Amino acid sequence: MMDCLTLIGKTVKNVTLVAALVTSVAFSANAMSADTDTDGDGMASFAELQLVYPFLTDSMFMDIDTNGDGLINDEEMAIALELGNLANPETDT
């Protein structure tokens, strides 16, 4: 009986964990923050990105802008954050 209750308790914990994971995935899919996208069009231009990342160079921007449309969308932003393409090379954090 105790084992059964323990199992139920674990299952509930797992469900909570999965829910938390789903939430965090959903959140990371929306990598574009309002801090970056100041005009709210859902894309980060070079100027917008440079306000948040002052060390950003043209070549860094082109690396991040994988589809070459001159704007960074959610997906490109998420990839850049994942790869550390937006990390400041001088602070090394």
Where on the chain is the footprint of Ca ion (CB under 5 A)?
A: 37, 39, 41, 43, 65, 67, 69, 76
Residue (52 or 87) nearer to Ca ion, CB? 52
Shortest Cβ 32–Ca ion spacing (Å): 8
- Residue 77 has a CB neighbour count (10 Å cut-off) of 23
Shortest Cβ 51–Ca ion spacing (Å): 11
Residue (63 or 87) nearer to Ca ion, CB? 63
**Residue keyed to tokens 């139920």:** 8
Shortest Cβ 61–Ca ion spacing (Å): 10
CA–CA separation, 77 and 80 (whole Å):
5
Phi, psi of 56 (to 5 degrees): -60, 130
Query: Which 3 state secondary structure label does DSSP give 86?
Result: coil
Residue (6 or 30) nearer to Ca ion, CB? 30
